[in-house]
A and B are shown apart, each in its own frame.
Chain A
């Protein structure tokens, strides 16, 4: 398993749409692809009039596993980047549990 960062820019019209998508994402990841992807965390992006987007951190077996997850959960996917290291300088200000 490798760590990947996934960009989903302006993926949804509103926070409500995103919440629905998040439930799908969790369900697909947990029920159908539990050995292939592990959702670690996400930051929700304020895209202004473009709605909301996310930066997601996933552990996955391959880039294709991430794409498959996105397909099954119907999530947009702009870019996948491999994460080689995690450097935590300070804890997140107000983390919201999923």
Chain B
């Protein structure tokens, strides 16, 4: 048997040792077909392990099922939305239209999902996600989230060994809810499988398995190499094979090797200068694979191996030819990234300067900001060849893209260079705007002093010119800094100025930003007019269709309100905000608000609700999601209070997460929960150590609710505390001043039953302690109950009762909480099925509750039960 035929042996239909994985894929697909609900499968494995082969094998066996495939590019800076462009070419229709129109990932995902609704089922394959651009990753995130609603199987492949900790795909995978995806990892071939492949060639199968580690591509290349001993690396295997082909064939292989992924035939013709005679032989031998109108290597490994060993002058010549051919091709917008790739490889600076900025703008337009940033950086490497105005413009754009991708130091550097250019050019408008940007970037980097300085410099510079949008934004920027520094007067002064200028210069966006700044400052200071301004800002944003601003405004108001313990206000905005986010794929803000609503419920003593919400946050927030901290803090605190096991695990994880950002907003809830835990468990030394730094931080930033609570825990633990000069929130102030009854009453007014009880431990007499004990027992706070029991025993009290369980709230008929709920619905005329739906329980369970209700109320019919309940005043309002 000829060595070149080895690929035929390993050809489709004879994939070795992939039966299990194939079965898994088929089962998933059957599941989709049966239930009509989509699933995602993540297929991972090292290069050459056969992910593409498995995907191909799976798809080949699908018969009439519709298959859509796309692949990510192996370019330094990949095409934006590469795989989606591939898929759009197959579906045509609305998806293709939107792609041409340059739509954003959100709209593209919607169009793709519409396409997937049509088949039953459809299979979508997206390969090599480790090379995906940012826009594609966004799209995949949206797709996986929504997949449940369409009958489609999404098969996503990637090289897991190429993901370091910060890789964007790693982050995305960390965000996907575990229940939403099936993960398959392909392993190497066993010695037996390798022996099967090697059999006909008389090569040492054991040595082959050892050397190749069972990597299928390496194995097949080694066998095809035709050398006596096994090549040392897969690269050597590929090169050994290449060494044996004819000259015309080699020329063709080299031409194909310089074009990533695959080479279209027209391009190959240009590269090979018309001589395609040896092409058929190359394909027949299996060295190249033919697809629709293009050829490519069987694996990227082979292509790279050949490209890297090309003589430099040959490489340059080929890249130059590719560049020329692509640049001359009609309507090649999607090829900008490829053009830049060849321009760079050919060392053609002019071409880089011409095409890289265009590629950047195209990428930015569809939301592939990392790629846009890269392309600008590429052009800027030759910045000295550019005219000053163009250079300054590219620097500004590069800074903006870096900002969007969170690369702050790079954003600052580019902006500073741009500023220098604008100053030299005497462009004070751009210079002023540059100062404003530097102010914002400094603030994000935690450099408040620089932020203030640059903010005022921006206004100074822009004031010298005629009024314009830039001056309005500069003023609004100052107002934001004043708000963040809790300076209401300053926020108002600068915000008002910003609004006036913005209204005169027609910049509505700045109007609503400034309104939001003033409103937030006022709200933070406890001034109710703030809410009105924030609502106005919200309305403006809604009218302008600025969805993210609307969502952010809801979440900011909600969070501030919860923090200030103004629960009705908080719930109004959080509920509305979450509903707003739900239909709009604003997932991170939704999770943020869900976390805060969990905390709100916890603080109001609605612990079952808090539990449900916090669990929901954790279910949906993978390890890479910042809002996970809030869910963990609530769960941990609940477990501590209830005396449930594993209380410290979520709190330890939360602490680690919160320390990554070091922000008080995240540290606060965690450190407070841990402080309470230490107090509940009598670990006073640990509490002292763990709370010291955060307390200092909270006092420094005048985050007084948090500071006061930390001081209170420390005092309750018997630690000496120093009261700050500023007035602390009322309930804490009263407790620390020794007015325990007053403190408890204040907590009750605010609506925090647990806190109202705990305060009593700081000095109440027997009646107060008994009341506190009953309260914490009602809430199910077993840990605190022990403290009360001990306090009562210390007062000589003997009969410290256990009291009713949390599940049974006291009312005269002895109905449980659940039974009261069911009874209320029943009295409202709902049937069992409707009650079941309303409470999200099964009909049978409702039935059991109804029986118990009839029993306890000694009623014979539902109507009787309802009447009796009304008489006794048992129904929920």
Interface residues of A (CB under 8 A from B): 2, 4, 9, 11, 20, 23-24, 27-28, 31-32, 62-64, 67-68, 70-82
Pick from A24, A71, A74: contact of B608, CB under 8 Å: A71
Question: How many whole Å from B514's CB to the nearest CB in chain A?
Answer: 43
Instruction: Report if B663 contacts A (CB, 8 A).
Output: no
CB pair B842 A28 closer than 8 Å? yes
A74-B816, A82-B646 in contact; A63/B845 too (CB < 8 A)? Answer: no
- Chain B, residue nearest A4 (CB): B645
Residues on B with beta carbons closer than 8 Å to the beta carbon of A23: 848
Residues on B with beta carbons closer than 8 Å to the beta carbon of A81: 645
Interface size of B by Cβ–Cβ distance < 8 Å?
Answer: 29
CB pair B807 A70 closer than 8 Å? yes
Pick from A4, A31, A63: contact of B639, CB under 8 Å: A63
Question: Could you list 29 examples of A-B contacts with CB < 8 Å?
Answer: A4-B645, A9-B802, A11-B805, A24-B848, A27-B842, A27-B845, A31-B844, A32-B842, A62-B615, A63-B642, A64-B611, A64-B615, A67-B644, A68-B611, A70-B807, A72-B841, A73-B845, A74-B807, A74-B818, A74-B845, A74-B848, A74-B849, A74-B852, A76-B805, A77-B806, A77-B807, A79-B643, A79-B782, A82-B645
Within residues 645 to 676 of chain B, which ones have a CB less than 8 A from any CB in chain A? 645-646
- Chain A, residue nearest B819 (CB): A74
Known: A64-B615, A76-B805. 7 other contacts (CB 8 A): A4-B645, A9-B802, A64-B635, A67-B644, A70-B807, A73-B845, A74-B849
Given the complex of chains A and B, what is the CA–CA distance between A34 and B807 in angstroms? 22
Given the complex of chains A and B, what is the CA–CA distance between A77 and B780 in angstroms? 9
Instruction: Report if B808 contacts A (CB, 8 A).
Output: yes
Within residues 460 to 494 of chain B, which ones have a CB less than 8 A from any CB in chain A? none
A24-B848, A63-B639 in contact; A80/B645 too (CB < 8 A)? Answer: yes
Residues on A with beta carbons closer than 8 Å to the beta carbon of B644: 63, 67, 80
Question: How many whole Å from B601's CB to the nearest CB in chain A?
Answer: 14
Pick from A20, A62, A73, A77: contact of B805, CB under 8 Å: A77
7 smallest beta-carbon distances between A and B, as pairs: A82-B645, A63-B644, A76-B807, A76-B805, A80-B644, A74-B818, A24-B848
Question: How many whole Å from A47's CB to the nearest CB in chain B?
Answer: 11
Question: How many whole Å from A78's CB to the nearest CB in chain B?
Answer: 6
CB pair B646 A24 closer than 8 Å? no
The CB with the most chain B CB atoms within 10 A, among A9, A11, A67, is that of A67
- Chain A, residue nearest B848 (CB): A24
Interface residues of B (CB under 8 A from A): 608, 611-612, 615, 635, 638-639, 642-646, 782, 802, 805-808, 816, 818-819, 841-842, 844-845, 848-849, 851-852
Question: How many whole Å from B638's CB to the nearest CB in chain A?
Answer: 8
Given the complex of chains A and B, what is the CA–CA distance between A84 and B615 in angstroms? 24
Residues on A with beta carbons closer than 8 Å to the beta carbon of B819: 74
Question: How many whole Å from B814's CB to the nearest CB in chain A?
Answer: 10
Residues on B with beta carbons closer than 8 Å to the beta carbon of A27: 842, 844-845
Residues on A with beta carbons closer than 8 Å to the beta carbon of B612: 68
Question: How many whole Å from B452's CB to the nearest CB in chain A?
Answer: 45
Question: How many whole Å from A30's CB to the nearest CB in chain B?
Answer: 11
Residues on A with beta carbons closer than 8 Å to the beta carbon of B842: 27-28, 31-32
Residues on B with beta carbons closer than 8 Å to the beta carbon of A9: 802
Residues on B with beta carbons closer than 8 Å to the beta carbon of A78: 805
Given the complex of chains A and B, what is the CA–CA distance between A27 and B845 in angstroms? 8
Residues on B with beta carbons closer than 8 Å to the beta carbon of A24: 845, 848
Given the complex of chains A and B, what is the CA–CA distance between A74 and B839 in angstroms? 13
Given the complex of chains A and B, what is the CA–CA distance between A67 and B645 in angstroms? 12
Given the complex of chains A and B, what is the CA–CA distance between A27 and B639 in angstroms? 26
The CB with the most chain A CB atoms within 10 A, among B639, B645, B841, is that of B645
Given the complex of chains A and B, what is the CA–CA distance between A64 and B819 in angstroms? 21
- Chain A, residue nearest B645 (CB): A82
Question: How many whole Å from B538's CB to the nearest CB in chain A?
Answer: 34
Residues on A with beta carbons closer than 8 Å to the beta carbon of B845: 24, 27-28, 72-74
CB pair B818 A63 closer than 8 Å? no
- Chain B, residue nearest A81 (CB): B645
Given the complex of chains A and B, what is the CA–CA distance between A76 and B803 in angstroms? 13
Residues on A with beta carbons closer than 8 Å to the beta carbon of B806: 77
Given the complex of chains A and B, what is the CA–CA distance between A7 and B445 in angstroms? 51
Question: How many whole Å from B195's CB to the nearest CB in chain A?
Answer: 40
Given the complex of chains A and B, what is the CA–CA distance between A46 and B154 in angstroms? 55
- Chain B, residue nearest A80 (CB): B644
Given the complex of chains A and B, what is the CA–CA distance between A50 and B611 in angstroms? 30
- Chain B, residue nearest A63 (CB): B644
CB pair A63 B646 closer than 8 Å? yes
CB pair B645 A75 closer than 8 Å? no
The CB with the most chain A CB atoms within 10 A, among B638, B643, B848, is that of B848
Residues on B with beta carbons closer than 8 Å to the beta carbon of A72: 841, 845
